[in-house]
Amino acid sequence: MTTLGSIALTVAFVVALYAMIAGYLGARRRIPELADSARNGVIVFGVLVTVAIIAISYALVTRDFSLVLVANHTSRDLPIFPYTLTALWGGQSGSLLFWSWILSLYGLVVVLKKWESNHDLMPYVVSVMMLIQTFFAFLLAFVSSPFERMEVIPLDGAGLNPLLQHPLMSIHPPLLYLGYVGFAIPFCFAMAALLSGRLNDSWIRATRRWVLIPWMFLGLGLLVGGRWAYDVLGWGGYWGWDPVENAALMPWLVGTAFLHSVMVQERKGMLKVWNMGLIIIAFTLTLFGTFLTRSGVVQSVHAFAQSEIGPLFLGFTAVMALASTALLFFRLDKLQSEAEFDSLLSREIFFLINNVLFLGAAIAILIGVVWPLLSEVLTGETLTVGAPYYDLVVGSLLGLIVLLMGVIPLIGWGGATLAKLGRKLVIPLAITAILTAIGFVLGARDPLPLFAVALLSFAFVTTASDILLAARARQKNTRENLPTATIRLIGRNHRRYGGYLVHLSVVILALGVIGSRVYAQDQVRALTQGESWETNGYTLVFEGLTPGVMSGEAVVTTATLGVYENGRRITTLKPAVSFFDRQQQQATDPAIWHDLPFMRRDLYVIVQGWTDNFQTVSFRVFINPLVSLVWVGGFLFLISTLITMLPDPQERRARERVKRELTAGGYAQPSE
Amino acid sequence: MATSTFTDNKPKAKSKYQLKYLIGAALIIGVIGYLIFFGLTQTSQWSINVTELKARGASAIGQGMRVSGQLEANSVAKDVKANKIAFVLTDGVNRLPVSYNGVVPDTFDRAVEVVAEGKLNPDGSFTASNLLARCPSKYDESKIELYDTSKMQGNVNYGQ
């Protein structure tokens, strides 16, 4: 199996190289047979990489410790499902293979769905996609093979990092990869449009959904990663502006910008260069992010080894960025705007401002991540920035974005007048004032969080009222009740109202972020058995410590705490410390109580240590207000995004029109 | 790239149109640029090692910084009841005593290199607010795993 997998990867490299060249020549010279052979190349490549994936999975499941990947990331004690299989992406070569495999699966879907309907673009799409795959297959076949053998075969493996032995860790990396890798597809379409010179909006229509899919996965991946950190790492938080988190957030922000500006292009034929630029930036950021996290140039929480592929990745990133930008400039004349902005107070302008802010946030993060390198060049000293920088800069920009989110529903396409806008503002501002006052009463007493609550309330009110007013208007004609009218309204226009639901989800999530980051508290205390501790309105009673119980790979020491509120026992918390002998590492297992009503706050307890022969135990207690709203908002974000992806009646008609145009046109005429 | 969307075929007739939007664009980009500049100048910290810290002498007192160094053997003293940990960072010659009372990273005990974020006191000791431990991978000494605890200050109280 190992040899088979190894051979499959070498052949895959040759196939990718062939399909890249055949796709380009087939399209350029208009040789359909050559283009079709490139399409077949995509299918063969997909099969070959799948063979390699099966081979490595087989090696993992059969615990073939002669392979470096298996020996370094698994052990005999590790459960086969899911953790031995998740070791696939635990190491560098495995994660490269996983990346290439996901791209090949995306590629298969795209080729099977779009080959007929986008006959002029697809050979170029295939060519660009296989260029990326050639790079990955080269790395896999010749530089960092997942089938590399151990010099000496060990009796047992090193085991998986204990922190990664968690159910969420078996879905977090695949979600992130689905997001990261998925941004390659719109990039391929954009490059295909530039190469073919067919720069009408067909590439935009073909790819909007292909931005939405990776955007959703990346967002989910970030959320699941945050939840994992919260449940496992024991520092009471879920987001730490770590370089690896930032690397995933940057393309997500740029993707968000694109999802908004693409509407301007579809409606008005404007921002064409800008949209093309955003796709290039988003894709480049996914490559650059991989470089950052794999090269060891920045310090990160994620245990990636420094590696030899760093320079290769940087080189590839630079080549792709330069080549795509050059291509964009070469085609500037074909990307003329079809319209001009009518008014400063128009939805188009506000979308553009929103775009600049999203891009600005991504740039601010990028500068923060590379600041240690940049500052050395600029000042001769190595400087770093951390959470305070990101909270200040990115937090401010996101605040401005929320403000726009509140204003935009009040402004139509084409333009509005100030007087009109002023009249529309009165009621939302009044409701915002009431909601902010409620926030004040509930505990947001400081200026900054109060301001944030006001911004979020405003966005919530204008968005929700836009939906409700449209539903009321519908009611007049249909005589449905309000819930039915609302649901049918959303069903009529998934994109618009699904998008609004995403906004409402983001408001809920943001409220959770504000509450849990601004008003979180933590306290420490050492307790002897039977001793009680009054903290934040709770009484914690330390009822005992159970030391040294074997559980899987670990020896677990568990403390028992009775939690009382107003003299009534509300729960029992069992925070623990696990010691993993094989890895010589301990892991803190927090115990979390989501306090009702409305999960208003979490009581989060960890064991910090013990002394006096287990008689005295030191606990740290975190109070995290509103943190559950982060997960609730995240879940609603998923549902809302899925709603936006449902096909609309209008959209289907538009797509059929495009299809007719394309089948009439056949292959693209080269532009020169 | 932004400006190209504003270009049109009759620049003379539309120069007023362009000016209005250029000012708007400059304003927004200016705000973003200033925010980044302000954030960098206000929150940047030195990232240095024990040797470099020594070389800076008294000028380093009170500055926010990240200091990296090796964990001196047998220098770790934990006081569970008082929730304190003390240890010494070294480059082989210079020694920096560090005290800390936050969450200790799970990988601290087997760390080869520690990064402490905090401030240098006038008496030459260092008070850390974050710890970051780098550990040798068990099977391959050349591979370095990182474990960052800078997140452990996630509970920043902005309002107060």
Mean pLDDT of successive 10-residue stretches along chain A, which has 672 residues: 94 97 95 94 97 96 92 86 84 89 96 88 96 96 92 86 83 92 96 91 82 95 94 89 90 96 90 94 92 66 59 92 96 88 84 96 96 91 92 96 94 82 92 95 91 97 94 90 92 92 97 93 92 93 91 88 94 93 85 86 93 88 95 96 86 68 51 36
Residue B135 lies in a domain: yes
Choice between A61 and B20, residue whose per-residue pLDDT is larger: A61
Q: How far apart are CA A639 and CA A634, in angstroms?
A: 9
Q: Give me the residue spans of the domains in chain A.
A: 1-165, 174-333+347-363, 521-625
Q: How far apart are CA A131 and CA A193, in angstroms?
A: 16
Residues 6 or more apart whose Cβ sits within 8 Å of residue A193: A121, A124, A199, A202, A203, A276
Residues 6 or more apart whose Cβ sits within 8 Å of residue A379: none
Neighbours of A82 (CB within 10 A): 13
Number of compact structural domains in chain B: 2
Name the residue facing A301 among B46, B82, B147 (closest C-beta). Answer: B147
Assigned token pair, A96: 């490269």
Q: Answer whether B46 sits within 8 Å of A383, measured CB to CB.
A: yes
**A166-201 CB burial, b ≥16 within 10 A, e <16:** eebbbbbbbbbbbbbbbbbbbbbbbbbbbbbebbeb
Contact A584/B at CB under 8 A? yes
Residue B160 lies in a domain: no
B133/B103 same-domain check = yes
Residue B159 lies in a domain: no
Choice between A306 and B61, residue whose per-residue pLDDT is larger: B61
B71/B36 same-domain check = no
B55/B97 same-domain check = yes
pLDDT exceeds cutoff 80 at B139:
no
Q: Give the confidence band of B6 by pLDDT, cuts at 50, 70, 90.
A: very low
Assigned token pair, B101: 């009372």
Would you state the pLDDT for residue B8? 44
Q: How far apart are CA B27 and CA B98, in angstroms?
A: 46
- The tokens 């964990």 sit on which residue? B71
Name the residue facing A609 among B39, B80, B151 (closest C-beta). Answer: B80
State the Rg of chain A over Cα: 27
pLDDT exceeds cutoff 50 at B147:
no
**pLDDT (mean) for B56-68:** 88
Name the residue facing B103 among A349, A448, A620 (closest C-beta). Answer: A620
Closest-CA distance, B47 to chain A, in angstroms, reads 5
B88/B130 same-domain check = yes
Assigned token pair, A341: 């902005």
Residue B114 lies in a domain: yes
Q: How far apart are CA A154 and CA A160, in angstroms?
A: 15
**pLDDT (mean) for B17-37:** 90
The parent domain of residue B133 ranges over 46-153
Would you state the pLDDT for residue B148? 37
- The tokens 């957030």 sit on which residue? A249
Neighbours of B61 (CB within 10 A): 13
Would you state the pLDDT for residue A632? 95
Contact A392/B at CB under 8 A? yes
B130/B57 same-domain check = yes
Q: Answer whether B47 sits within 8 Å of A449, measured CB to CB.
A: no
Window 292-351 of A, Cβ < 8 Å to B: 296, 299-306, 332, 337, 340-341, 344, 349
B90/B56 same-domain check = yes
Would you state the pLDDT for residue A321? 97
Name the residue facing B5 among A71, A271, A382 (closest C-beta). Answer: A271
Residue B36 lies in a domain: yes
Would you state the pLDDT for residue B160? 26
pLDDT exceeds cutoff 50 at B141:
no
- Chain B CB contacts of A300 under 8 Å are 146, 148
CA–CA distances in Å: residue A164 to residues A36, A661, B41, B103: 43, 51, 37, 20
Contact A440/B at CB under 8 A? no
CA–CA distances in Å: residue A39 to residues A24, A136, A304, A465, B56: 11, 18, 35, 48, 63
- The tokens 């149109």 sit on which residue? B17
B39/B59 same-domain check = no
B37/B68 same-domain check = no
Neighbours of A615 (CB within 10 A): 11
HSE-up of residue A439 (Cα within 13 Å, Cβ side) = 26
Contact A384/B at CB under 8 A? yes
- Chain A CB contacts of B66 under 8 Å are 384
Helices (H), A197-336: 202-232, 243-268, 272-295, 309-330
Would you state the pLDDT for residue A306? 55
B63/B136 same-domain check = yes
- Please state the ipTM of this predicted complex: 0.89
B84/B24 same-domain check = no
CA angle A587, A590, A596 (to 5 degrees): 165
Q: Answer whether B35 sits within 8 Å of A397, measured CB to CB.
A: yes
Name the residue facing B39 among A237, A393, A608 (closest C-beta). Answer: A393
Neighbours of A319 (CB within 10 A): 13
Would you state the pLDDT for residue A159? 82
Q: Name A325's bridge partners.
A: none
**pLDDT (mean) for B47-51:** 91
Q: Answer whether B35 sits within 8 Å of A396, measured CB to CB.
A: yes
Choice between B63 and A541, residue whose per-residue pLDDT is larger: A541
Residue B158 lies in a domain: no
Q: What are phi and psi of A299, to 5 degrees?
A: -80, 140
B147: nearest CA in chain A?
Answer: A301
B51/B36 same-domain check = no
B52/B10 same-domain check = no
Would you state the pLDDT for residue B11? 45
Neighbours of A580 (CB within 10 A): 20
Q: Is A557 helix (H, G, I), strand (E, B) or coil?
A: strand
Check residue A167 and report its DSSP letter. Answer: G
CATH number of the domain at B115, please: 2.40.50.140
